[in-house]
A and B are shown apart, each in its own frame.
Chain A
Amino acid sequence: MIHARGLSRRFGRKRALDRVDLDLPEGGFLLVTGPNGSGKTTLLRLCAGLLVPTGGVLEVGAERGEIGFLGHDPLVYRGLTARENLELYGRLYRVPERRERSGMLLERFGLWEARNERVGSYSRGMLQRLSLCRALLHDPRLLLLDEPFNALDAAGAELLERELAERRATAIVATHDPDRVAHLATARLVLA
């Protein structure tokens, strides 16, 4: 599903990603590890289409509406409630029966009680969970998760692990904490 040859990305003078080769078949799970600043985030953003390569080739076999992305920002509006945020994204992603689906996700990730509170009052862990709901809302074929375990407490982490174990989607997960999901990985990429 994802094919990259000599993929590079620079920002001004800085090389964030240098000639990476990658082949991920459909349904695969790629675990990306590496120290801070090694380009994990850049790689995910490239795959999501938020960045274009400055060198090399990248082919992603999924359309915009089929990609679920979790980055460093939760990508939700602080002034809206969780419900309203998911309604908006549900509308933009043409999710069928979006009310039901958002409700289901909110419940699964333990946010049902807080669903009508403004997101601005959420804790970091709750924001991360909401962001996950957002990423999963449209049942994406490709999941791109950048440090998803970061702000999650034990319960949240367990929910995410289960979600990943049950998934059918192709996934790329960048993390500092590979042991959690190492057993699910079909491939690994270490960035220097």
Chain B
Amino acid sequence: MVLALALMGAAVAMVAFYVPEDADQGLSQKIFYFHVPIALTAYACFGWGALKALLYLWRRDPRYDLESYVAIHLGVIFGAMTLVTGMIWAKISWGVWWAWSSNQLVLFLVLFLFYSAYFMLRFSVEDGPMRANLSAVYALFGVVLIPIGFLAIRLANDFIHPTVFTSQGPQMAGSMFATFVVCWAAMLALAAAFYGIELAGKRLDARLRELRELLAP
């Protein structure tokens, strides 16, 4: 956690002072340094969740189910943040809150819907081996959806809007690249820290429940 905070501090400092302002978009463009790392971190969380899901199906250890759930939970939070920062950037850059031509944004919307359904699924099935099974299978579907969904959205743009705005960041010169990497590292560290905390918290909950049951007649 300390590492994460330190990295975050460094990231913010770099973004604020070190990196030169972008020629076209000015100060507002700097949100890019948060938006993209947040998006990449969300992908990493979903990927990690899918990995744990696979391990669960292979080993049937309930711990993997919990780890998968926490990873996906975190992924959804980062995903929501991606959407928010993306919308802010869109507003600042292009004057609109939403742009369907932004592939990244649309993909995140779809993934957000998908993984929200993950929680609906989880909340509507009783805790037990079956819930873990279903969650794991769904998490795997999600991670397959990411590339396929991205491909679909790319293809869709051809007949929905001709591409007017590019959603790519600017070409990154040395200082920009360094800042970007630091930001990315900071986001991942933050995610890892939250992951550890939430996991520990949930495990503690489970342990307390177990002990309570042992003590109860």
Chain A positions near chain B (C-beta within 8 angstroms): 10-13, 15, 51-52, 54
Expressed in whole angstroms, the Cα–Cα distance for A13 and B205 within the complex equals 13
Expressed in whole angstroms, the Cα–Cα distance for A51 and B128 within the complex equals 10
B213 close to chain A: CB less than 8 A? yes
Q: Which of B60, B126, B213 is the one whose CB lies under 8 Å from A12?
A: B126
**14 A-B pairs in the complex with CB atoms less than 8 angstroms apart:** A10-B128, A11-B126, A11-B128, A12-B126, A12-B127, A12-B128, A13-B127, A13-B209, A15-B213, A51-B129, A52-B60, A52-B129, A54-B128, A54-B129
Q: Mark B118-138, 1 if CB is under 8 A from A, else 0.
A: 000000001111000000000
Q: Which chain B residues lie closer than 8 Å to A54 at the CB level?
A: 128-129
Q: Which residue of B lies closest to A53 (CB)?
A: B129
Instruction: Identify 11 new A-B residue pairs, CB closer than 8 A, beyond the known A12-B127, A12-B128, A52-B60.
Output: A10-B128, A11-B126, A11-B128, A12-B126, A13-B127, A13-B209, A15-B213, A51-B129, A52-B129, A54-B128, A54-B129
Expressed in whole angstroms, the Cα–Cα distance for A51 and B213 within the complex equals 22
Q: How large, as a class, is the contact surface on chain B?
A: under 10
Q: Which chain A residues lie closer than 8 Å to B60 at the CB level?
A: 52
Q: Which residue of A lies closest to B60 (CB)?
A: A52
Q: Which chain B residues lie closer than 8 Å to A51 at the CB level?
A: 129
Chain B at the A interface: SS class: loop
Q: Which chain B residues lie closer than 8 Å to A52 at the CB level?
A: 60, 129
Minimum CB–CB distance from A7 to chain B (whole Å) comes to: 14
Q: Which chain B residues lie closer than 8 Å to A10 at the CB level?
A: 128
Expressed in whole angstroms, the Cα–Cα distance for A13 and B126 within the complex equals 9
Enumerate the 10 nearest inter-chain pairs by beta-carbon distance, A residue then B residue, closest first. A12-B126, A12-B127, A52-B129, A11-B126, A11-B128, A54-B128, A12-B128, A54-B129, A10-B128, A15-B213
Expressed in whole angstroms, the Cα–Cα distance for A54 and B127 within the complex equals 11
Q: Mark B59-76, 1 if CB is under 8 A from A, else 0.
A: 010000000000000000
Q: Which residue of B lies closest to A9 (CB)?
A: B128
Q: Which chain A residues lie closer than 8 Å to B126 at the CB level?
A: 11-12
Expressed in whole angstroms, the Cα–Cα distance for A11 and B213 within the complex equals 14
Q: Which chain B residues lie closer than 8 Å to A13 at the CB level?
A: 127, 209
Which of B60, B128, B213 has the largest count of A CB atoms less than 10 A from its CB?
Answer: B128
CB contact list, B199-215 vs A, under 8 A: 209, 213
Expressed in whole angstroms, the Cα–Cα distance for A52 and B209 within the complex equals 21
Expressed in whole angstroms, the Cα–Cα distance for A11 and B60 within the complex equals 17
Minimum CB–CB distance from A40 to chain B (whole Å) comes to: 19
Expressed in whole angstroms, the Cα–Cα distance for A13 and B213 within the complex equals 9
Minimum CB–CB distance from B34 to chain A (whole Å) comes to: 40
Q: Which chain A residues lie closer than 8 Å to B129 at the CB level?
A: 51-52, 54
Expressed in whole angstroms, the Cα–Cα distance for A54 and B60 within the complex equals 11
Minimum CB–CB distance from B102 to chain A (whole Å) comes to: 42
Expressed in whole angstroms, the Cα–Cα distance for A11 and B127 within the complex equals 7
Q: Which chain A residues lie closer than 8 Å to B127 at the CB level?
A: 12-13
Q: Which chain A residues lie closer than 8 Å to B209 at the CB level?
A: 13
Expressed in whole angstroms, the Cα–Cα distance for A12 and B213 within the complex equals 13
Minimum CB–CB distance from B26 to chain A (whole Å) comes to: 55
Minimum CB–CB distance from B137 to chain A (whole Å) comes to: 16
Which of B60, B126, B209 has the largest count of A CB atoms less than 10 A from its CB?
Answer: B126
Q: Which chain B residues lie closer than 8 Å to A12 at the CB level?
A: 126-128
